[in-house]
Homo-oligomer: A and B are copies of this chain.
Amino acid sequence: MQIWRINVREQRLKREPIPEAWSHLGGRGLSARILLDEVEPTCDPLGPQNKLVFAPGLLVGHMLSSCDRISIGGKSPLTGGVKEANAGGTTGLQMALMGIKALILEDLPVEPGLWVLYLSLQGARFDQADDLAGLGVYETTRRLLERYGEKVAIALIGPGGEMKMEAAGIQNLDKDKVPSRIAARGGLGAVMGSKGLKAVVFDAAGGQKPPFTHPEAYKEAQKAYNKALMEHPQTHAYRDYGTAAMVQLCQQFGSLPTRNFSVGLFEQADAISGEHMRDLLLERGSPSNPTHNCMPGCTIRCSNVFGSQDGKVIVTPLEYETIGLMGSNLGMDSLDTIARLCFQANDLGLDSIDVGAALGEAAEAGQMGWGDGELALELLDEIRRGTPLGRVLGNGAVATGRHFGIEHVPAVKRQAMAGYDPRAIKGTGVTYATSPQGADHTAGLTIRDKVDHLDPKVQVALSRGKQISMAGYDTLGACIFAGFGFAVSPPGTIAKLLNARYGWNVPDDILQVLGKETLKLEREFNRRAGFTAEDDRIPAWMTREPLSPTNAVFDVAEEDLDSLYNW
């Protein structure tokens, strides 16, 4: 494996050996290490000093179920801090087949213009792509697959990234070549846009799977993991309902973001639930019928293809976070409408969480009525056209709330909260507050844990454990749901997989070791960027305004929040 370093100004590739200090890391941990080693933490995220890092996780390359994720990192234009966003799909796997440990994109182009960076075992080529300017990710993908063949992996941006919007992510193709797996959060699409890249095409032709040091030991550990994963009840729930199963769970806890996080219950939750979605998928005969996998080899199959009554695909996939932020959060009671909003956000290459929260701000400001799907679609079209209001919305919830002078912005470190109101699920609130990533449920979701979610005393320990594990999984390239399998696998399964693949001798608690190292690297980057304890806070209004029906406020003590990194 090598480091591929590309200067977009010179349009030149350098292939470098892996520095000793980077070799034990992958994915999120490696990205954090590279940023800390090479990027000035106070730099302009859209300036020449920022870098964009693509790093497959340590386990990527063998279609181990749910473990082929790609981590993308850089200094975030949204939060001003460290950023890693990861995604499923095929990018991670193809990079591993090409022997790329990490791809580092540096500098800014000399002239404005749009390029496709084509990477193969022969090297790098910059292909002019001005004809793709302003195109959505779906049409762009169609053209790129025509141009580069059906076998490539593609990471690409939409108009959002081209316009350097702070809610712009980087889309990746799923195994069916649909640009649907977005490294959504924190504005990394804007960083890619600033570097003049519409797409990076990975052509692994001639590549091969990374070798194993001990193939038999690997197979044995893989078998144990697969068995554990398949037997886990949660695997089946996700296969049946996708992540949308979360709607009813959040409704039960009174944590479903509703009408800009003003209440925790949505009267029409049934109509947007996973159960209802499954009924629709079965009734309408979706290609995923009801669910399918986004990465080759994944046995969980949590994803879906949501179609309309006439059998046409509306969007792939429709996930819980989108349903929460663009559904209940906007007072929308129709999955068809939410799916249409989701399609537009995807096509624009925008984070549906931050844009959903931005629309919630717009609704609170009277720019649209709650539940007005047509107007919401019009507002998304303003983003596409780059109108002034559209640019505000495309910069996410904090920009939009500021724009309208609204205090009720559900965000931490300028990143919008996901679909769990932190007043009712306080452990996830602790994660929102203290994660170096800003408000991010994937950094440590606590809703499935058997605790009193309203008790402020128990949340920090809970969140700490989750955040360490998740930083570990993100470093492995493992999906959040792979954790269900690893958690019930024989002790040391992860260590066995790594040791068998790399010939290492890592301890059984390697997940925690990697997670702690990753969090510390990220936190150090943020510290150097100027972050303090005051950035590790839930917005004041959520500590003051009770959330119906629990009437809870976020009341985890600040000194407890500040103790999260004391482990």
What is the interface of chain A, defined by CB distance below 8 A to chain B? 40-44, 46-47, 49, 163-166, 190, 194, 387-389, 391-392, 395, 399, 402-405, 407, 528-535, 537, 539-541
Contact = CB atoms under 8 A, between A and B. Distances in A.
Given A530-B533, A532-B532, A540 B44 contact: yes
A43 B530 contact: no
Given A387-B388, A388-B387, A540-B42, A402 B403 contact: no
Nearest to A404: B391
A405 B44 CA distance: 11
A320 to B, nearest CB: 29
Most B CB within 10 A of own CB, among A164, A190, A392, A395 = A392
A375 to B, nearest CB: 15
Given A163-B405, A190-B405, A392-B403, A534 B540 contact: no
Contact of A44 (B190, B388, B407): B407
B391 A395 contact: no
11 contacts: A44-B539, A44-B541, A165-B405, A387-B388, A388-B392, A388-B403, A395-B403, A399-B402, A399-B403, A529-B534, A532-B532
A215 to B, nearest CB: 49
A193 to B, nearest CB: 8
Contact of A540 (B49, B533, B537, B540): B49
A525 to B, nearest CB: 12
Contacts of A46: 405, 407
A528 B534 contact: yes
Contacts of A163: 405
B530 A407 contact: no
Contact of A389 (B41, B388, B404, B530): B388
Contacts of A43: 540
Which 4 interchain pairs have the tightest Cβ spacing?
Answer: A530-B534, A164-B405, A388-B389, A388-B388
Contacts of A534: 41-42, 528-530
A47 B543 CA distance: 13
A483 to B, nearest CB: 33
A540 B529 CA distance: 13
Given A388-B392, A391-B392, 4 more contacts: A42-B534, A44-B539, A47-B540, A391-B404
A504 to B, nearest CB: 37
A399 B400 CA distance: 11
Contacts of A402: 166, 395, 399
A194 B194 CA distance: 37
Contacts of A395: 402-403
Nearest to A47: B407
Contacts of A391: 392, 403-404
B42 A537 contact: yes
Most B CB within 10 A of own CB, among A387, A399, A405 = A405
Contacts of A392: 388, 391-392, 403
A316 B165 CA distance: 40
Contacts of A404: 391
Contacts of A47: 407, 540-541
Contacts of A44: 407, 539-541
A9 to B, nearest CB: 14
Contacts of A399: 399, 402-403
A46 B407 CA distance: 7
A539 B49 CA distance: 13
Contacts of A528: 534
A537 B43 CA distance: 11
A403 B535 CA distance: 23
A490 to B, nearest CB: 45
A134 to B, nearest CB: 15
Nearest to A391: B403
Contacts of A530: 531-535
A364 to B, nearest CB: 13
Contacts of A540: 40, 42-44, 47, 49
Contacts of A194: 405
A44 B538 CA distance: 12
Nearest to A390: B388
A163 B404 CA distance: 8
Contacts of A541: 44, 47
A532 B534 CA distance: 11
A399 B166 CA distance: 12
A48 to B, nearest CB: 8
Nearest to A190: B405
